[in-house]
Structure 1
Amino acid sequence: MTARATAELARINNGRALPVAWGEFAVRPTPEVRRTRITAAVVSVVGAWTVAGALWNAENAAWMIALAFGILAAATYLPRLLVTMQHNREVE
């Protein structure tokens, strides 16, 4: 979902560089793209919270919970980063 929404943002901003970490887009995202990005982030948080909750009572839970939130960060930001980098290479 995240990659698809970012790919749609890249299509909308064709010919213009996308912000890599933060910033404003040259062309604002449509409400549908914004909704898809928010939904993807919420699904990722719910998934990480579920995994963290299941691991909470496990032995050595601290590093397992850190791993769950690391996976959350990767699932949320890695697709955005990869699509953005590919788009920005094509723009330059």
Structure 2
Amino acid sequence: MARSTSRSPAEQDTDILDLPPSAKLVAKTLEYEGEATQSQLAESTLLSPRTVRDAVTRLEESGIVMSRISFQDARQRVYSLDEGLPGR
């Protein structure tokens, strides 16, 4: 999903503050460990796969996380923080 470029950094900060703790944990994990698949995120965060799936969906909708198809396994998506975010 494309991120709106007309949103201010303050609006983006508000988005992350409104997210559940699981989504914040996934975002921090991506920040510290780099890109990962949903299964890798579930293993790293100790969250259930369903919770991780919900978290990455919310993060993508907020424009905080981007995804791409995995080169190693086209059935999986690889998630990373959006490089266009402030401080990245």
- TM-score, normalised to structure 1, is 0.29
More strand by share: 2
Q: Which has the higher contact order (CA 8 A, sep 6+)?
A: 1
Larger radius of gyration: 1
Q: Tell me which protein shows more helix as a share of its residues.
A: 1
